[in-house]
Amino acid sequence: MTLTESILSGDRLALARLLTQVENLTPDGRAALDSLFRHSGRAHLIGVTGAPGTGKSTLVNRLALHFRGQNKRVAIVAVDPSSPFTGGAVLGDRVRMKDLSGDSGVFIRSMASRGSLGGLARSTAGVVQVFDAAGYEIVLIETVGAGQGEVDIARLAHTTLVVEAPGLGDDIQAIKAGILEIADILVINKADRPGVENTEKALRSMLELAHPSQRVYMHHGRALEADAPADANSQVWIPPIQKTISTDGQGIPELAEQIFRHAEYLRSTGGWAARDRARLASELDMILQQTLLDQFRVRESETRYNEILQDVFKRNLSPWEAVALLTRADSSGPRDPDGRNGSGPAR
């Protein structure tokens, strides 16, 4: 039985091994991804983002339990930007899930970024595809941080939940303004806390200011496509605001119902496929960018690269000038009919 077959047959141990390979972007992991990819495209991808202190982890936990009650297989991908330097995932993520442990219908994976955020985004995309192909019907992608990179990871899910909580201070208010625009559903968690009315009022007025009637996907600087046709009869999704108390589960069934409604909306308007395509196009570009850099490094002599870098250190060359020097031969290379690059450096 091949690794791909083992995954498709539901072998958890094989799955765990493959996830590690995919996370580390090994050649074996990549090969398995290639063959699993055609089996993906069935899962409902749900992004959950929001500032620290909003109780996202507990909320995700509760949602997973709820979906398990509907007998759906659930994967949780916890993207954890807090441990980029140690390589390990936060202990809390591992222990918090005790209600779910021992349930073979649930698989939890913490992703720590190792080095670059780009690497994290690429490996998260791969891990999500593996869960999708392995038959997990719900994939919850939780991003612990509140920064742009985490938002980028969460925003291309089918359904994006933005989690807020009452009384987290002024900075949070500022963050809302931007993050609101990616929300399909707004969650006010910790709704038993004082100040919940104010939070709801603030969110509602921001929604009224913002409410983008449709989301347009940009790709290579052009609009790729929109969720819904821009005609007068088109349905428009206004993000609902759902209050929850994830510590005791209040509001969770209602939230799950909103998530289900959103999926229905996307399917009826073509938005589901549009989001799939936007995600895949963005993934292609991420991989393309890294591959071009890798190929450049193979081609370019280490010595020359380092000489130019030294000139930047001495401030004889600006970084832009250095890149122009380094890539001059490259740009004309594949197009050069007789293979001679007059402007290129001698190698």
Residues 184-213 that bind its own copies (CB under 8 A): none
From the list 98-106, 145-153, 243-251, 264-272, the region that binds its own copies by CB under 8 A is 145-153
Total residues interacting with its own copies, rule: CB under 8 A: 103
CB of 219 to its own copies, least distance (A): 9
Q: Which of residues 273-312 bind its own copies (CB under 8 A)?
A: 276-277, 280-281, 283-285, 287-293, 295-299, 309, 312
Q: Is 117 in the site for its own copies (CB under 8 A)?
A: yes
Q: Which among 239, 312, 255, 290 is positioned nearest to 60, based on CA atoms?
A: 255
CA atoms of 275 and 31, how far apart (whole Å)? 25
CB of 90 to its own copies, least distance (A): 4
Instruction: Estimate to the nearest angstrom the gap between the alpha carbon of 47 and the chain centroid.
Output: 7
Of the candidate residues 8, 90, 206, 226, the single one contacting its own copies (CB under 8 A):
90
Of the candidate residues 113, 160, 244, 269, the single one contacting its own copies (CB under 8 A):
113
Q: Which of residues 215-274 bind its own copies (CB under 8 A)?
A: 218, 220
Of the candidate residues 223, 337, 342, 343, the single one contacting its own copies (CB under 8 A):
337
CB of 64 to its own copies, least distance (A): 18
Structure tokens of 273? 């496929």
Query: Is-contact 138 105, C-beta < 8 A?
Result: no
Q: Measured from the CB atom, is 218 or 254 closer to its own copies?
A: 218
CB of 232 to its own copies, least distance (A): 25
CB of 178 to its own copies, least distance (A): 4
In the chain, the amino acid numbered 287 is: I
From the list 12-20, 225-233, 253-261, 317-325, the region that binds its own copies by CB under 8 A is 317-325
CA atoms of 79 and 154, how far apart (whole Å)? 9
Q: Which among 20, 18, 61, 140 is positioned nearest to 10, based on CA atoms?
A: 18
Which alpha helices (H) appear in the chain, and where do they start and end? 3-8, 12-23, 27-37, 56-69, 91-95, 117-133, 148-155, 170-179, 196-210, 252-269, 271-299, 302-313, 319-332
CB of 140 to its own copies, least distance (A): 17
Of the candidate residues 53, 240, 249, 270, the single one contacting its own copies (CB under 8 A):
53
CA atoms of 93 and 80, how far apart (whole Å)? 9
From the list 10-18, 60-68, 178-186, 226-234, the region that binds its own copies by CB under 8 A is 178-186
End-to-end Cα, the chain, rounded Å: 48
Residue 271 makes CB contacts below 8 A (sequence gap 6+) with 215, 227, 228, 265
**Torsion angle in degrees (nearest 10) through CA of 259, 67, 39, 288:** 50
CA atoms of 327 and 252, how far apart (whole Å)? 54
Q: Measured from the CB atom, is 12 or 42 closer to its own copies?
A: 42
Q: Which among 182, 173, 162 is positioned nearest to 59, based on CA atoms?
A: 162
CA atoms of 343 and 249, how far apart (whole Å)? 67
Of the candidate residues 141, 151, 191, 196, the single one contacting its own copies (CB under 8 A):
151
Q: Measured from the CB atom, is 9 or 291 closer to its own copies?
A: 291
Q: Which of residues 4-43 bind its own copies (CB under 8 A)?
A: 30, 33-34, 37-38, 40-41
Q: Measured from the CB atom, is 87 or 253 closer to its own copies?
A: 87
Q: Measured from the CB atom, is 55 or 251 closer to its own copies?
A: 55
Q: Measured from the CB atom, is 8 or 105 closer to its own copies?
A: 8
Q: Measured from the CB atom, is 16 or 323 closer to its own copies?
A: 323
